[in-house]
Structure 1
Amino acid sequence: MKPFTTRVLFQVSRVTLVIVTVALAVQTYLTGWKKPQPVATKSQPKVNESLPPKTLWAQIQNNRNLTRFAKLMGEFEDIVGGLQAPRAQLTVYAPIDEAFDMEDFPYDLPWFYWKFLVGYHMGKGGISPQALRSQNTVSSFVNADIFFKNQQRISVQNNADAVSFNFRAKMLASQPAVNGHLHIVDRLLMLPDSTSDVLRYTPEFAIFRQGLIDTGLAEVVNDTSTHTALTVFAPSDAAFRQLGRKVNAFLFGPGGRSYLKALLAYHIVANETLFSDVHFPAKNGEQVVLDLQSASNRISLPTLAHGYNISTSSTRQSDGGRRIILINDEWKVGRSDIVVMDGVIHGMDAVILPPIINGGGQLEKQNQNWWSIVSRSWNAVGGITVEELMERLQPLVDNDE
C-alpha cells in the first residue's frame, strides 16, 4: 500500500474514533455538520459580473476552474448554507480542478472524511490577500483535538512570488465576496499527517528521527493515545552536523545513548501546541493569540526531559511582517509552523542546548548560540566538545538508564 494511502486511512480511522467517542460539533458560523444531504450545484442562477461582489458560494459555482471543489462542497447543505449567508464572514481556500489529479485518494472514503477535507479549506473571518502576507497561521473549521475547543491551523508562507499554504499550495488568485474572501490555490490542503508521519517522510529530519528510534522516544511521539498534542522542535540534519563529528559519534554511540535521549527529549513538549502566533495550552485550554506587546508573550513549556522547561517568545521580523519564535532568548526557529494532526513541528537550524546550571542550582545564560556553534564547527576539532555537551546535559540525564 502506498505511504499516502496508509496515512489517509489512518486519518480516517482517527476521525472515526472521534465521531464514536465525542459528539461531533464545530464552533463556527456554520451550524450542524450533520450527515450530508446532496445540494444541486447548478440550481442557482449565475450572477451578472457587473453586479457587486457575489457570495462565496456563487463565486465558487460560477468559476469554471473550481467545478470539482464546487461539486464536493455541494454534498453538504450546512456548508453551502454558510457560504450563501450574506452576513457570514468566511475565507475559502479553493483548489482548482487539476489539483485533485495530483492526489492519490483511496477508493470509496467515507463521507465524513470529505467533510473534514472541505472544512480544512475554510475558516472563520474574511482574510484578504494583503492580510495573509502578515499571517503565520490561519484557522480552519476542522477540530485540532477531541475536545472541540480549538480549530486546526493552516500554515501561511509569504514567498517572494506568491503566498502559499502548508508549504505546498500556492495562491493563484484572490476574489473578494459579499461574505468574505475566496483564495484560489493550485493544490489541495490535505488533512495534516501525524507528527511521526511528517518526521518519517521529511528527509531533512532523518537524524532526529533516527535518534528518536534509538532512544525509544519514537514510541512516545508515535502513540497519539498518550498525548493530546505535541510541540516538536526538530533539528535538521545540518543542525546535527554543526555539533561536529566527535559529538555525533558520542551521541549515537553506545556510551552516549542516555545523553542523546536527554537532548532529544529537551526538544519535545507534550500536551501543548505552540504555533508562532497562537498557543493551545495544556488541560484542554482554549487558544491564546500571542500578543507581541504583552509580557504574556513569553511562554515556558515543560519538555519531556524530566520537566525541564524551555522559554519561548514570539517576535516580529525586522521588516514588520511575519513572526519568529525564539527559544531561551538564543535559538531562532528556522522553519516554523509545520502543521501536524497532533500538534506542530518547528524546524530548527541548530540543536537546542540547555543552559548550564551553576553550583547554586541557578540557570546561567546560554553561551552557545547558533553562530558560535557554526564558527567552531569550522575548526578541525569540530563543534562543541563532548565534555561541554555532557556538562550541559547531565542534569537532564536519567541516571536509572
Structure 2
Amino acid sequence: MVGPQNNDLKNIVEVLKTYDGEGAAESDLKSGELSRRNATFNTLVAALVETDLLDVVINNELTVFAPTDAAFAELGLNPGNIGAVPGLADILLYHVVGGRVYSYNLTPGFVPTLNSAAVEVKLNGRTATINNANLPARNIEALNGVVHIVDKVLLPPTMDIVDLAISFAPEFSTLVNAVVQAELVDVLKGDGPFTVFAPTNEAFEKLGIDLSTLSKEDLTAILLYHVVPGRVYSSDLSTGSVATLNGDIYIDLSDLTIKDNGSIDKANLIAALLNVQATNGVIHVIDKVLLP
C-alpha cells in the first residue's frame, strides 16, 4: 500500500497526466528531447484504463518505467488502438516494480517486475538503461511511488521454456526431444518458475550416449539435474553449490563453469546466452551435459 502521504505530491497516474519535464537532464530539456509536447503519456494512461490497472497504479507503492507516447508510436500504437494489443496487461506490469526504486540505487542485474519476469539494468558510468531503453528523465516523485521515463516500450517474454527452446531450433532439438521422451513437457510448460541450464546439441553429441536407449527414469534424472526451482539470473549466482531438482551442482563464477557429480570435466556457461527469459523461468546455455 502507499506510504506516508504528502499533500504536495500527485499519485502516479496524475504525474503521468501532467508531466512537465521534471527529472530530465538540463541538456535534454534544452535540446527539446523532453519538451512538454513530446513527453506525453496518453497511450500509457489509456492502456491502464483498458486493462483495469488504474487502481493498482494509484493505490500501491510502485516504481513505474513509463514509455512516452513517442515510444508507443514506434510500435504503431496510440490511445485509439492500444486496447487491441494481445497480452496488454502483462506488458504494462512488465514496466512496474514493487516499492520505490530510485535510479541512484540501481545496480547491474535483473529487477523483478509485477509481471514476474525481470527487466535488465545496465550501467555505463552513472547512466542506467533498462532492457537497453534509455531513461531520459528519472526519479519523478509521486505520492505513491516514483516514475522513470523510458524511450522504448519494454516487451516481456511471451514463450514458456519448452517453446523457447523449440524456437532456437535446431540448436536445442536434442534437448527438446529428450524432454518429450521423458514426458516432462507439461512440467516445463507449467507455471514454475524454473531455471534451466540448457545443453546444446553439440553438448549431447560430446556425451556419446544414444538417449533413445535410456530408460525414462534415467533420462528424467539427467534432465532434472539441469533444472533449478525459481528464477535464478546470472546476477543472482555465486560460487558454491546450487540445488537442482535432482541433487547439487557446483558453480564457479571465477571461470563461469559448472561442476557436476558424474564427471571430471566442467560445463561452461556461455556468456552470450545467459538469462534468456521465458514466461515461466529463465534459461542459461551450457556446453556440456551435467550428470548426477
1:2-401 maps to which residues of 2 (within 5 A)?
Answer: 29=2, 45=18, 47=20, 49=21, 53=23, 63-64=38-39, 66-73=41-48, 76-81=53-58, 90-92=63-65, 94=67, 96-101=71-76, 114-124=88-98, 125-128=100-103, 134-142=107-115, 144=116, 152-156=117-121, 163=129, 165=131, 170-179=132-141, 180=146, 182-190=148-156, 192-203=158-169, 204-222=171-189, 224=190, 228-241=192-205, 243=206, 247=208, 250-252=209-211, 254-256=212-214, 260-269=219-228, 271-278=229-236, 298-303=240-245, 307-312=246-251, 315=253, 326-328=257-259, 330-334=266-270, 335-348=273-286, 350-354=287-291
Alpha-carbon distance in structure 2 between the residues aligned to 1:352 and 1:92: 39
SS of 2:114 mapped into structure 1: strand
Could you list the runs of 5+ residues in structure 2 that have no partner in the other structure? 4-11, 25-33, 261-265
User: What's the TM-score once normalised by structure 1's chain length?
Assistant: 0.49
Inter-partner Cα distance in structure 2 for 1:308 and 1:114: 39
User: Secondary structure at the residue paired with 2:46?
Assistant: helix
Query: How far apart are the structure 2 equivalents of 1:42 and 1:164?
Result: 21
Aligned-residue sequence identity (percent) comes to 17
Cα distance in 1 between the residues matched to 2:129 and 2:121: 7
Q: Which has the higher contact order (CA 8 A, sep 6+)?
A: 2
Q: CA deviation at 1:211?
A: 2.2
Cα distance in structure 1, aligned partners of 2:18 and 2:156: 31
Q: Which residue is equivalent to 1:372?
A: none
Residue 256 (structure 1) shift: 4.5
Summarize the Cα distance change of 1:198–1:61 in structure 2 as closer, same or farther, 3 Å threshold.
farther
Over residues 129-176 of structure 1, what are the superposed CA-to-partner deviations in whole Å (9 max), with x where a residue is unaligned? x765x422112123x4xxxxxxx42244679xx9462xxxx3144312
What is the distance in 2 between the residues matched to 1:127 and 1:164? 13
Q: How many Å apart are 1:121 and its aligned residue?
A: 0.8
Amino acid of the residue matched to residue 311 of structure 1?
A: Y
SS in 1 for 2:89: helix
**CA separation in 1, counterparts of 2:118 and 2:234?**
11
Going from structure 1 to structure 2, the CA distance change for 1:78 and 1:106 (only over 3 Å counts) comes to closer
Query: Is contact 1:215-1:260 (8 Å) kept?
Result: yes
What SS does the aligned partner of 1:234 have? strand
Tell me the distance in 2 between the aligned counterparts of 1:191 and 1:235: 21
| 1:199-239 C-alpha deviation (Å, 9 max, x unpaired) | 222233233212212332324323x2xx6432211123343
Quick one: distance in 1 between partners of 2:19 and 2:83?
Answer: 33
Deviation per CA, 1:258-303, whole angstroms, max 9, x where unpaired?
A: 665543332123x44322344xxxxxxxxxxx7x6xxxx7343132
Q: Which residue in 2 is equivalent to 1:35?
A: none
Q: Per the alignment, do residues 189 and 61 of structure 1 end up closer, same or farther by CA in structure 2, a change over 3 Å counting?
A: farther
State the TM-score, normalized to the length of structure 2.
Answer: 0.64
Are residues 73 and 265 of structure 1, via their aligned partners in 2, closer, same or farther at CA, if it must alter by over 3 Å?
Answer: same
Deviations 1:81-134 (A, max 9, x none): 369xxxx672415271235449xx998579xx5334312112143342x765x4
Which residue identity lines up with residue 165 of structure 2 in the other structure?
L
Return the letter of the residue paired with 2:227: I
Count matched residues. 253
